[in-house]
Amino acid sequence: MRNKLNVLFICGWYPSRVLTNNGDFIQRHAEAVSLKQNVSVLHIITDKNCTKNIEFTSKKTNGIQTHIAYVKKTNSRVVKLIQFCRAYLILLKKVKPFDVVHLHELYPFGLFALHLKWLQKKPFLISEHWSGYLTPKLKNRTFFQKIILNLITKNASFICPVTQNLADSMQHFGLKGNYIPVPNVVDTKLFLPKKKEENEFTIIHISNMVPLKNVPQMLQVAKKLEIEIGAFTWKFIGEKIDGFSSLIKDLQFKTANIHFINHIAHKELVKEIQNANVLVLFSDYESLPCVILEAFSCGIPVISTDVGGIKEYFPHNFGFLIETGNKKELLEKIKQTQQQKLATSKEMHAYAKSNFSKEAIATIFSDLYNKALKIKY
């Protein structure tokens, strides 16, 4: 048996003391890869509470050796760049010898991947999750940034966006390279189907509740649903009710139970999904939301706007894809979910396990690492 490879994750996003859930989908990628390889993480983030210019932590989290640098906040871009580079070089000395780099977030952390390729001859892969590359919301970049982005992608062994749609958008943006989409990870041993109790019809929405998620529009649909079917429960998980209490008061719900639940741990989230009848996303744009894959793993159908690469991993009988902003269609599909026979929970879970489990993703990335290193089986 070949020895395990040593893989260095360089991450622009990753859970830390500043943002405890930022980039948790990258953490799940790291945990998946660690089933077959040795993984270390290098992450740098600005911390307004830093008393020193740079503070360092190194600890093992969920089996991953994690090295994080916290940089003191500054309004100077030049100072910030210098501090980030200093932090990177110091963290690099803390990392055990590695064979291959796995980059998460193309810019600016891709500069560190280039440094390692050019000076240490370490090949690198890129995983990209950022919906900002999607054509409808394509962000403006300076001419200099576009040159750097192209330099990074051209030097990568593989570029692995989470969907083909994101890959197409990145190439449309002019980023050339060897694209192989690899989806997000689901802990299919945690997100399991569960027999439901005979409670009232329950809808669930999980997000950070930013404007593009269209929570007010979903609340308006909830009011119309109440008028048509009477009692049901709709849980909004990820934010407190504060920003929506005025609208809820105006809508005057009588029989519908509308609950807002602040962010909860993964184990608690599993219970909420398992006890729901349907997950609803009504976003203006997305890449590949982990919550959809987690719902499938729990055997729960999904209603989502047909945006980003969602349809690439959405079997026809697992729920419904609807037009962006179409509240009437959302209402009809919620009612249809109550009536139409969809795939069984067992079928949904089996699909999730085959495509998004830690084992499945670890196998894909391990194969790409070997190809990048030109290791033959």
Residues 331 and 363 in one domain: no
Percent of the chain scoring above 70 in pLDDT: 97
Residues 343 and 364 in one domain: no
CA dist., res. 17 & res. 29, Å (int) = 20
- pLDDT number for residue 139: 60
What SS3 class is residue 56?
strand
Q: Please name the residue that has the structure tokens 């934010």.
A: 239
Residues 144 and 17 in one domain: yes
Number of CB atoms found within 10 A of residue 148's CB: 17
Residue 218 has pLDDT above 70, yes or no: yes
pLDDT digits (tens, 9 = 90+) for 12-69: 999 999 998 888 999 999 999 999 999 999 999 999 999 999 999 999 988 899 999 9
pLDDT digits (tens, 9 = 90+) for 88-117: 999 999 999 999 999 998 988 999 999 999
Residues 351 and 361 in one domain: no
- pLDDT number for residue 137: 53
Which of 302, 290, 350, 352 is closest to 131 using CA atoms?
290
Q: What's the chain's average pLDDT?
A: 93
Asked if the structure places residue 167 within a domain, the reply is yes
pLDDT digits (tens, 9 = 90+) for 250-290: 999 999 999 999 988 888 999 999 999 999 999 998 989 99
Structural domain tally of the chain? 2
Residues 158 and 277 in one domain: no
Residues 163 and 210 in one domain: no
Asked if the structure places residue 174 within a domain, the reply is yes
Beta strands in 85-135 (DSSP E): 100-104, 124-128
Which CATH number is 296's domain given?
3.40.50.2000
Task: Provide the residue range defining the domain that includes 116.
Answer: 6-185+357-372
Is residue 140 very low, low, confident or very high in pLDDT (cuts 50, 70, 90)? Answer: low
- Residue 23 CB-density burial (10 A; 0-12 exposed, 13-18 middle, 19+ buried): buried
pLDDT digits (tens, 9 = 90+) for 280-308: 999 998 989 999 999 999 999 999 999 99
Residues 54 and 123 in one domain: yes
Asked if the structure places residue 318 within a domain, the reply is yes
Residues 364 and 323 in one domain: no
Asked if the structure places residue 153 within a domain, the reply is yes
Asked if the structure places residue 196 within a domain, the reply is no
pTM: 0.92
Total H helices, total E strands in the chain: 12, 13
Asked if the structure places residue 277 within a domain, the reply is yes
